[in-house]
Amino acid sequence: MFADRAKIFIKSGKGGDGHVSFRRELYVPAGGPDGGDGGRGGDVVFEVDPGLNTLTDFRHVRKYVARDGAPGSKRRCHGANAEDLIVKVPEGTVIKDFETGKVISDMSGGNLREVILKGGKGGLGNMNFATSTMQAPKYAQPGQPGHEMWVQLELKVIADVGLVGFPNVGKSTLLSRVSNARPKIANYHFTTLDPHLGVVDLDGGAGFVMADIPGLIEGASEGVGLGHDFLRHIERTRVLIHVVDAAGSEGRDPVADISTIHRELEKYNPELLKRPMVIAANKIDAVYPGDGDPVEALRKEFEPQGIPVYPISAVSGQGVKALLYAVYELLKTVNQKPVIFEKEFEIEYAGTHNLPYTVNKNEEGEFVVEGPRIEKMLGYTNLESEKGFQFFQNFLKENGILEDLEKAGIQEGDTVRMYGLVFDYYK
- pLDDT band, very low/low/confident/very high, at 86 (cuts 50, 70, 90): very high
In angstroms, rounded to a whole number, what is the distance separating the alpha carbons of residues 8 and 205?
A: 41
Q: Is 6 helix (H, G, I), strand (E, B) or coil?
A: strand
Q: Work out the average pLDDT over 71-86.
A: 90
- pLDDT band, very low/low/confident/very high, at 81 (cuts 50, 70, 90): very high
- pLDDT band, very low/low/confident/very high, at 63 (cuts 50, 70, 90): very high
Looking at the chain, the whole-number percentage of residues with pLDDT higher than 90 is 15
Q: Work out the average pLDDT over 243-264.
A: 83
Each residue's pLDDT tens digit, 156-204 = 777 788 888 887 777 778 888 777 554 443 333 334 445 677 778 888 7
Burial class (CB in 10 A: 0-12, 13-18, 19+), 423: exposed
Q: Edge to edge, what strands does the sheet with 161-164 contain?
A: 196-201, 207-212, 161-164, 239-245, 277-282, 309-311
Q: Work out the average pLDDT over 279-306.
A: 83
Q: Are 107 and 49 in contact (CB under 8 A)?
A: no
Mean per-residue pLDDT over the chain, rounded: 79
Which string of DSSP letters, residue by residue, matches 205-256?
Answer: G-EEEEEEPPPP-TTGGGT-TTHHHHHHHHTT-SEEEEEEETT-TTS--HHH
Q: Work out the average pLDDT over 70-91.
A: 91
- pLDDT for res 380: 61
Looking at the chain, the whole-number percentage of residues with pLDDT higher than 70 is 81
Check whether 12 has a pLDDT greater than 60: yes
In angstroms, rounded to a whole number, what is the distance separating the alpha carbons of residues 360 and 370?
A: 9
- pLDDT band, very low/low/confident/very high, at 1 (cuts 50, 70, 90): very low
- pLDDT band, very low/low/confident/very high, at 221 (cuts 50, 70, 90): very low
Lowest mean pLDDT among 37-51, 223-237, 309-323: 223-237
- pLDDT for res 194: 53
Q: Give the count of beta carbons closer than 10 Å to the beta carbon of residue 26.
A: 5
In angstroms, rounded to a whole number, what is the distance separating the alpha carbons of residues 347 and 214?
A: 34
Check whether 96 has a pLDDT greater than 80: yes
Q: Edge to edge, what strands does the sheet with 113-117 contain?
A: 85-89, 44-48, 113-117
- pLDDT for res 30: 62
Lowest mean pLDDT among 126-130, 135-139, 224-228: 224-228
Q: Work out the average pLDDT over 85-105.
A: 90
> What pTM did the predictor assign?
0.60
- Distances 247 to 289, 295, 312 between C-alpha atoms, Å: 11, 9, 11
Q: Work out the average pLDDT over 45-53.
A: 87
Q: Work out the average pLDDT over 285-297.
A: 77
Check whether 132 has a pLDDT greater than 70: no
- pLDDT for res 88: 94
- Distances 108 to 157, 213, 240 between C-alpha atoms, Å: 10, 19, 20
- pLDDT for res 76: 84
In angstroms, rounded to a whole number, what is the distance separating the alpha carbons of residues 203 and 192?
A: 30
Each residue's pLDDT tens digit, 343-380 = 777 777 655 445 677 788 888 888 888 877 777 677 66
- pLDDT for res 216: 57
Check whether 144 has a pLDDT greater than 70: yes
Q: Which residues contact 104 (CB under 8 A, 6 or more apart)?
A: 95, 96, 97, 116, 151, 343, 344, 345, 347
Check whether 384 has a pLDDT greater than 60: yes
Most confident of the following: 85-99, 369-383, 388-402: 85-99
Check whether 223 has a pLDDT greater than 90: no
